[in-house]
């Protein structure tokens, strides 16, 4: 098979759905029932939609002793107020999939127990949103409140069974180390805060349930979970999500409100739309848990790290044990440390369950480990990059496997050159600009390259256009665009003749849209489908006596602009349209697929992140002046989209480092800053000069299209780079995130 010319992949193309988004035509879950049909799909207007508003508990733990819905139900337009007193029993079949952590998931309106502040305790359904909101505010709930525990730092918290990892003998190595450091880092709880609120529109047609939902996983996630909750066949549930306005992980589970919407629709016999308020996002979906991450580090005098221990705690709920899969690997793989010991405990608290958030686990581990490395560099007077180079492994120190591609050295070198690292005076508090202390810092990022089985259907129509479909999601990275690029090159069609559709559970199966696995997995399935289809057309042509390609070697035929031709003889060929018309074929169709192969390599994406900050010497304000990320992420399919990812990751990391902090009032579990005025995310003025560089290359061990995933690794390492720059600027080491003026006065 001749290699296809790559016209679209690698080109800095704009989003194919950009116009729809900026003209307001992209319909998100809450835009129903005003949905219209667009070139990317869409659904007919849903008739008769009514509105549901959730009532949240105002205590953390206890029992509901009474609910008075009289006033609410008396309001004009109110159809029903559903509580545990009148809700039907829902089967809640076991479902270990759908990202449900071990435990017993929250069952809406099934009993009188309250497990966290903000738990749904009732829902008001009315013909207008205003009536539903008003009715919800009139529901009177009386509680028998019990003492709650929501503070991970409280002494004597019980913990779940720890996860551990050991290599060598860290204790002994620490005892004999020339230099020993011991630090505890405390990154705050963060909320995803996607711009689009979580929203569900649910409709029952007999026994068939359709939901338009904000989700990152239509089939394995929402469809499967709703089937389990309602005890109906998976085939009876359809989930539609053509546009998702940001997720960052918050759409990786089917949260209680999705069930509430479907339940309300069933109880009222009407399609129901339910949109969480911004406040409700803070307890109605998940969050990045708060951590306490204690590091002990032993080194020889030359900066060779001989031992590292990690004693890690993160918050989870009392009803589910959410343990972050990504918290341990970085501490095992990033540095060639012979003696490592890790203990990871989750602390059950009276809170709702956390969920993965961009760079899950890795971002937290990198904050602690990369801060600790910076502390060691300072202690030893070794340049932070040099220290990392001295501990760079040749093979994966956790299992001895070779790395498929690991180009951290290149990341450091390129980053240092482009950032101007050599001009740095290593002495903290040595650079001033008026009232501002200037500091620079760097950190390493890493994220494992995840892949999962995926399918994509590819259909070539007689008019020479193609339709590619897969039940994946585009929460913002540009899946529509990148998949169209891969398909266009595979089919030999221009971008405008290829349409990619996603976000519907009737489409071929795709894995969750998270963990940076969509491009690798769905992209490989799309490429496989496009290759198959192209080959099918070529086979048809070379076997067709009336084709100019008759008798040609199929392996020598390539396709460009919809025309098949012999690669050494461009005049010999014909278009797809002619071939299909002559053969009276309406279309050709294949199912592309991808299954990850077992690899004998360790496959990860890497980053070197550099930051320059200014800290007001008297007022303690920290402002990022510029950042640079250098990424070893394999092949870059779509450079403009990659920049969106990388810059967005830096923005998220700036928030994590300097602004974002979900604050809980531990007296009653109330989140006190559950809004975007008090939970601060960076604004434009906070993100002045951000730059991303991608090392040229690809990783064919990772997947057929050579990508290693980008969406997560771009956040990992940002917060420690900033924290290290703050130390360099001020000489003050702050070990809590976010770093605010309070700590620097």
**Shortest gap between Cβ of 281 and other proteins (angstroms)?**
15
Backbone angles phi, psi at 141, to 5 degrees: -115, 130
The tally of CA atoms less than 13 A away on the side-chain side of residue 559 is 30
The tally of CA atoms less than 13 A away on the side-chain side of residue 76 is 0
Query: In the set 137, 142, 166, 561, which binds other proteins (CB under 8 A)?
Result: 137
Q: Is residue 130 involved in binding other proteins (CB under 8 A)? A: yes
Q: Which is nearer to other proteins, 65 or 555 (CB)?
A: 65
Partners of 113 in the β-ladder: 63
Dist. CA 416–CA 419, nearest whole Å: 5
Q: Which is nearer to other proteins, 277 or 430 (CB)?
A: 277
**Shortest gap between Cβ of 561 and other proteins (angstroms)?**
46
Q: Which is nearer to other proteins, 282 or 421 (CB)?
A: 282
**Shortest gap between Cβ of 133 and other proteins (angstroms)?**
6
**Shortest gap between Cβ of 63 and other proteins (angstroms)?**
17
Backbone angles phi, psi at 45, to 5 degrees: -60, 135
Query: In the set 1, 22, 154, 741, which binds other proteins (CB under 8 A)?
Result: 741
Q: 3-state SS of 372-397?
A: HHHHHHHHHCCCHHHHHHHCCCCCCC
Q: Is residue 413 involved in binding other proteins (CB under 8 A)? A: no
**Shortest gap between Cβ of 130 and other proteins (angstroms)?**
6
Backbone angles phi, psi at 538, to 5 degrees: -65, -45
From the number of C-beta atoms within 10 Å of its C-beta (0-12, 13-18, 19+), residue 105 rates as buried
Query: In the set 663, 697, 732, 733, which binds other proteins (CB under 8 A)?
Result: 663
**Shortest gap between Cβ of 681 and other proteins (angstroms)?**
8
Q: Is residue 673 involved in binding other proteins (CB under 8 A)? A: yes
CB of 617 closer than 8 Å to CB of 430: no
Query: In the set 32, 670, 728, 735, which binds other proteins (CB under 8 A)?
Result: 670
Exposure string for 296-334, b = 16+ CB within 10 A, e = fewer: bbbbeeebbbbbbbbbbbbbbbbbbebbbebbbbbbbbb
Q: Is residue 680 involved in binding other proteins (CB under 8 A)? A: yes
Q: Which is nearer to other proteins, 36 or 618 (CB)?
A: 618
Angle (deg, nearest 10), helices 362-380 and 718-730: 30
Query: 632-661 mask for other proteins (x: CB under 8 A)?
Result: --------------------------xx--
The catalytic position among 225, 370, 574, 712 is 712
Q: Is residue 682 involved in binding other proteins (CB under 8 A)? A: yes
Q: Which is nearer to other proteins, 189 or 670 (CB)?
A: 670
Query: In the set 11, 183, 402, 621, which binds other proteins (CB under 8 A)?
Result: 621
Asked if 712 is an active-site residue, the reply is: yes
Q: Is residue 691 involved in binding other proteins (CB under 8 A)? A: no
Q: Which is nearer to other proteins, 22 or 175 (CB)?
A: 22
Angle at 30 between CA 133 and CA 213, to 5 degrees: 115
Q: Is residue 686 involved in binding other proteins (CB under 8 A)? A: yes
Partners of 375 in the β-ladder: none
**Shortest gap between Cβ of 653 and other proteins (angstroms)?**
15
The interface region with other proteins, picked from 199-207, 570-578, 666-674, 689-697 by CB under 8 A, is 666-674
Q: Which is nearest to 244 in space by CA: 523, 514, 51?
A: 514
Q: Which is nearer to other proteins, 510 or 650 (CB)?
A: 650
The DSSP annotation for 158-186 comes to --PPPEEEEES-HHHHHHT-SEEEEEEEE
Size of the site for other proteins (CB under 8 A): 34
Exposure string for 445-480, b = 16+ CB within 10 A, e = fewer: bbbbbbbbebbbbbbbbbebbbbbbbbbbbbbbbbb
Q: Which is nearer to other proteins, 315 or 320 (CB)?
A: 315
> What strand order describes the sheet that includes 498-502?
498-502, 466-470, 454-461, 587-594
- Chain residues 489-548 in contact with other proteins, contact rule CB under 8 A: none
Q: 3-state SS of 622-687?
A: EEEEEEEEEEECECCCCHHHHHHHHHHHHHHHHHHHHCCCCCEECCCCEECCCCCCCCCCCCHHHC
The interface region with other proteins, picked from 205-213, 253-261, 619-627, 728-736 by CB under 8 A, is 619-627
Q: Is residue 620 involved in binding other proteins (CB under 8 A)? A: yes
Query: 562-601 mask for other proteins (x: CB under 8 A)?
Result: ----------------------------------------
Query: In the set 19, 36, 618, 700, which binds other proteins (CB under 8 A)?
Result: 618
Q: Is residue 745 involved in binding other proteins (CB under 8 A)? A: yes
- Chain residues 49-78 in contact with other proteins, contact rule CB under 8 A: 58
Q: Which is nearer to other proteins, 96 or 683 (CB)?
A: 683
Dist. CA 173–CA 150, nearest whole Å: 36
Q: Which is nearest to 108 in space by CA: 10, 225, 209, 25?
A: 225
Q: Is residue 667 involved in binding other proteins (CB under 8 A)? A: yes
Q: Is residue 740 involved in binding other proteins (CB under 8 A)? A: yes
**Shortest gap between Cβ of 745 and other proteins (angstroms)?**
5
The DSSP annotation for 433-494 comes to ETTEEEEEEEEEEEEE-----EEEEEEEETTS-EEEEES---SSS-HHHHHHHHHHHHHT--
Residues involved in catalysis: 712
Q: Which residues bind other proteins (CB under 8 A)?
A: 58, 130, 133-134, 137, 435, 618-621, 623, 658-659, 663, 665, 667, 670, 672-675, 677-678, 680, 682-686, 738, 740-742, 745
């Amino acid at each position: 098979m001749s290699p296809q010319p790559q016209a679209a992949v690698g080109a800095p193309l704009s989003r194919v759905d950009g116009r729809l988004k900026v003209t307001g035509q992209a319909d998100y879950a809450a835009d129903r029932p005003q949905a219209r049909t667009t070139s990317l799909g869409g659904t007919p207007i849903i008739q008769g939609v009514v509105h549901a508003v959730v009532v949240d508990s105002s205590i953390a733990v206890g029992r509901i002793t009474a609910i008075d819905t009289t006033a609410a139900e008396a309001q004009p337009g109110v159809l029903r107020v559903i509580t545990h007193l009148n809700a039907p029993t829902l089967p809640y079949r076991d479902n270990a999939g759908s990202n449900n952590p071990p435990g017993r998931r929250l069952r809406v309106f099934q009993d009188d127990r309250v497990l966290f502040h903000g738990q749904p305790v009732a829902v008001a359904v009315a013909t207008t949103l205003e009536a539903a909101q008003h009715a919800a505010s009139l529901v009177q709930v009386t509680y028998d409140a019990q003492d709650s525990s929501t503070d991970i730092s409280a002494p004597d918290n019980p913990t779940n069974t720890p996860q551990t990892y050991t290599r060598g003998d860290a204790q002994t190595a620490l005892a004999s180390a020339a230099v020993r450091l011991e630090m505890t880092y405390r990154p705050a709880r963060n909320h995803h805060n996607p711009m689009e609120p979580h929203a569900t529109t649910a409709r029952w047609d007999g026994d068939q349930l359709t939901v338009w939902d904000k989700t990152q996983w239509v089939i394995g996630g929402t469809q499967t979970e709703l089937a389990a909750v309602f005890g109906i066949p998976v085939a009876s549930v359809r989930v539609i999500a053509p546009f998702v306005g940001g997720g960052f992980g918050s759409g990786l589970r089917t949260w209680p409100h999705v069930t509430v919407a479907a339940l309300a629709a069933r109880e009222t016999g009407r399609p129901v739309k339910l949109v969480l308020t911004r406040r409700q996002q803070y307890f109605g979906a998940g969050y990045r848990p708060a951590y306490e991450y204690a590091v002990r580090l032993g080194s020889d005098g030359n900066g060779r790290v001989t031992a590292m221990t990690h004693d890690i705690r993160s918050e989870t709920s009392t009803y589910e044990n959410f343990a972050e899969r990504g918290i341990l690997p970085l501490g095992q793989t990033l540095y060639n440390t012979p003696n490592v010991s890790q203990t990871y405990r989750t602390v059950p608290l009276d809170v709702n369950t956390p969920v993965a958030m961009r760079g899950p686990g890795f971002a937290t581990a990198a904050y602690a480990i990369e801060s600790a490395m910076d502390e060691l560099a300072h202690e030893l007077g070794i340049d932070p990059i040099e220290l990392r180079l001295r501990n760079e492994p040749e093979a994966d120190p956790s299992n001895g496997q070779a790395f498929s591609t690991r180009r951290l050295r290149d990341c450091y070198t390129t980053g240092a050159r482009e950032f101007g690292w050599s001009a740095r005076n290593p002495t903290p508090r040595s650079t001033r600009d008026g009232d501002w202390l200037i500091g620079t810092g760097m950190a390493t990022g890493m994220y494992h390259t995840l892949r999962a089985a995926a399918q994509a259907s590819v259909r070539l129509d007689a008019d020479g256009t193609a339709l590619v479909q897969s039940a994946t999601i585009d929460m913002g990275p540009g899946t529509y665009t990148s998949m169209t690029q891969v398909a266009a090159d595979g089919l030999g069609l221009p971008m405008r003749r290829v349409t990619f559709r996603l976000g519907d559970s009737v489409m071929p199966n795709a894995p969750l849209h998270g963990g940076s696995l969509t491009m690798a997995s769905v992209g490989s399935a799309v490429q496989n489908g496009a290759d198959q289809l192209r080959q099918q057309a070529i086979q048809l042509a070379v076997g067709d006596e009336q084709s100019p390609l008759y008798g040609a070697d199929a392996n020598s035929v390539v396709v460009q602009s919809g025309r098949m031709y012999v690669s050494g003889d461009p005049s010999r060929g014909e278009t797809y349209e002619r071939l299909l018309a002559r053969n009276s074929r309406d279309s050709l169709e294949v199912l592309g697929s991808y299954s990850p192969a077992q690899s004998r390599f360790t496959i990860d994406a890497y980053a070197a992140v550099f930051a320059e900050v200014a800290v007001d010497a008297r007022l303690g304000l920290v402002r990022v002046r510029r950042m640079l990320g250098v990424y070893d992420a394999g092949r870059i399919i779509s450079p403009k989209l990659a920049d969106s990812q990388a810059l967005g990751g830096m923005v998220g990391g700036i928030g994590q480092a300097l602004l974002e902090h979900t604050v809980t009032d531990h007296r009653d579990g109330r989140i006190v800053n559950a809004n975007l005025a008090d939970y601060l995310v960076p604004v434009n003025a906070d993100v002045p000069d951000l730059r991303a560089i991608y090392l040229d290359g690809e990783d064919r061990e990772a997947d057929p299209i050579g990508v290693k995933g980008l969406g997560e690794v771009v956040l990992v390492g940002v917060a420690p780079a900033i924290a290290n720059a703050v130390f360099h600027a001020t000489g003050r080491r702050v070990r809590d995130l976010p770093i605010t003026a309070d700590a620097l006065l």
